[in-house]
Amino acid sequence: MSRFHAPIAEAIWDMKYRFKEADGTPIDGSVEDSWRRIARSLAEVEKEPEVWEPQFYEALEDFRFLPAGRITAGAGTGRQVTLFNCFVMGTIPDTMAGIFESLKEAALTMQQGGGIGYDFSTIRPRGAPVAGVAADASGPLSFMDVWDAMCRTIMSAGSRRGAMMATMRCDHPDIESFIEAKKDPARLRMFNLSVLVTDAFMAAVKADGPWELTFGGKIYKTLPARDLWNRIMRSTYDFAEPGVIFIDRINAMNNLGYCETIAATNPCGEQPLPPYGACLLGSINLARLVKDAFEPHSSLDMAALDRLVRLAVRMMDNVVDASRFPLPEQAQEAAAKRRIGLGVTGLADALLMVGLRYGSDEAAKATEIWMHAIARSAYLASVDLAREKGAFPLFEAEGYLASGSMAQMDDDVRAAIARHGIRNALLTSVAPTGTISLYAGNVSSGIEPVFAYAYTRKVLQKDGSRSEEEVVDYAVQLWREKNGDEPLPDYFVNAQTLPPLDHVRMQAAAQKWVDSSISKTINCPEDISFDAFKEVYMAAWDQGCKGCTTYRPNDVTGSVLTVSESSDKTPAEAPETTRGAEVVYLSEPLDRPAALEGQTYKVKWPGSEHALYITINDIVIAGHRRPFEVFINSKNMEHFAWTVALTRMISAVFRRGGDISFVVEELKAVFDPRGGAWMEGKYIPSILAAIGGVIERHLIEIGFIEGEGLGLKSDPKAEMLRVGEAPRGAACPACGSYDLRKVEGCLTCGSCGHSKCG
């Protein structure tokens, strides 16, 4: 009998987590084989692996402990991928060389499948002087655009698109531009944005006091703190970003406050991390631990929870030793602190199964009790590991126990840590768990409420087509198996109907016993008033949350998933199809034949001594040609690193199959801040845009797309002439203006000063 509770669960396992040969031949014959592979791999670092492997298998069996996707897919495979989910990269230096070295590190990390976070507050603001070059700085947002372009072309391991978090302090001079960056729906699409909000700023907001924007000791602007807060709120209300991170609270509560400072988080926000910080994730499936579900005496099995948590902590600690890391700095950071992020999923389902309404005072109290139990078990398990294997290398009892998080910990746990140390500096975190929750039978995700009782979800297949699968919530399905067609009880609520302040109550209840943070989205109705919306964020601050993220449907972002149902409807009455349902990307890389057909194109960028030669090779599938790989060659060694990186990223996208025409769009949208050039009567905003044009022309020639796009996005240096329009006369190759004149025998631009004579 299949262990899977829904066809989509088995499909996700097969396409994302099942170990296969390079040609697609399965190695894991069943999900039990996957569990054995993971258990064996994580037991290998033990002195007695034969003792621990069956216990680890027991934890994994029946989807009770869910290691995050990278562990489930990668452990025991020998693949060159990291088992860690979350990375915050090193501090970005305020130099051109340092900025692009950081970009390279980001690409290497994402290549192995890690989501990354960056604090861009360290880059000087736009307009600040740049010493030695007689120029003004372009500011952190211009470099975020570069990161965004890189991320668009990279596919993370496991067929996941790259994900990034960008943070900026609330006192940075460019914070107003950062807040409103996503008013342009085409900009920074690969980033989640969050403002680092300080205690001093929140005090100024409440007192309606002034607020200074500073950098390098210089005050650039003073404005009312409440005005800046309202701008953050208005942007979030209208465009769903930026989120808010209460950064001083995070650092005050951090167990490692004595040896690190945090300024950024991973993309989903549940892991605040220091420079080069890394964390792995795993979740206890609470829905599997409820005894006698939907009975008057139902309860969470606390003894089973304790044993499962202790095994999960040991398994996750072993991942630190079993995993590879994209960068040596990340490996060193992980080894020095041995951070893990054990969380939960299925919380809302578990609450329903014991008869509690998610968001109620009773549900919040139960959540706090359960999370407290998990924290106790996790910390005591880590103390036992310290006695057996040693504490984490940077452990200092006095500093560790003085942190805000440890101050509230139980006295017996504090005493054990003081006596024996602790193996893992931080232990708890609540991740989004979207895909692994589906894999586990569509249990409710993380600590979120049930999203919908039943809906249709789109699934991308290997051939690029999409099928639709009906998905029923785990608790609802269990209710129906027990009670047939009886109406759902009144305490069944979901994300579509839950008041926003009930979300906050649940997040705050869980946060008390989570030493890292929580990925939680507070769904707000479209018609919520702006004042009521602001109240959600202030409630999150007042109730002790470490951050706040909301989602309100709007014309710009649309709705992630639209479900129209009331609490008394049964799954059979729920709508069959929901528009905008999230797509699960299940495609695998196409296999490369021994020989491919292709074409080589020459691109001579004005002002460059050497040409670029772009080779595009195609694969033939069912009689149709589609691009498979790209190579870019040039004698100009200055281009070597970025051309190699670009070809690898584009080729990785091509090999995933499906519609890859977006690569052209993204490349053609890249603008060089130094200005583009005129080529064959068209204004091309950058050399990357020129490469995009070559790829587009090739796709047209092989019949992959019908024709050239409608043109490039607007560029200030091309405003006087539409893209593709023939020039009205000689145009400056640097800025595109029609102000070229002869000066001492040389053509010189009166607008920008460009001259071929130097």
pLDDT tens figures, 702-737? 888 876 653 333 333 433 333 333 334 445 544 445
Q: Is there a catalytic annotation at residue 582?
A: no
- Residue 604, classed as helix, strand or coil, is coil
pLDDT at residue number 283: 97
Rounded to the nearest integer, the mean pLDDT of the chain is 85
Please tell me which of 381-390, 568-577, 724-733 the model is most confident about, judged by mean pLDDT. Answer: 381-390
pLDDT tens by residue, 528-544: 999 999 999 999 999 99
pLDDT tens by residue, 107-145: 888 877 667 899 999 999 999 988 777 678 899 999 998
Q: Is there a catalytic annotation at residue 86?
A: no
Cα 60 to Cα 78, 285, 583: the distances in Å are 20, 10, 26
Q: Is there a catalytic annotation at residue 523?
A: no
| Given the residues 268, 279, 524, 732, the one annotated as active site | 268
Residue 109: both structure tokens together: 């990390």
Mean pLDDT value of segment 504-527? 94
Mean pLDDT value of segment 599-618? 86
Alpha carbons 450 and 721: distance in angstroms, whole number: 52
DSSP H or E segment with residue 480: helix 474-483
pLDDT at residue number 646: 85
Confidence of residue 464 (pLDDT cuts 50, 70, 90): low
Alpha carbons 211 and 225: distance in angstroms, whole number: 5
Q: What is the DSSP string of 83-94?
A: S--EEE-PPPPS
DSSP H or E segment with residue 597: strand 597-603
Angle at 150 between CA 144 and CA 153, to 5 degrees: 140
| Given the residues 254, 266, 424, 617, the one annotated as active site | 266
Mean pLDDT value of segment 254-283? 94
| Given the residues 241, 270, 333, 666, the one annotated as active site | 270
Mean pLDDT value of segment 99-110? 89
Mean pLDDT value of segment 600-607? 86
- Residue 305, classed as helix, strand or coil, is helix
pLDDT tens by residue, 302-313: 999 999 999 999
pLDDT tens by residue, 425-442: 999 999 988 889 999 999
pLDDT at residue number 463: 57
pLDDT at residue number 740: 54
Residues in the chain: 758
Residue ranges per structural domain of the chain: 92-133+155-253, 597-727
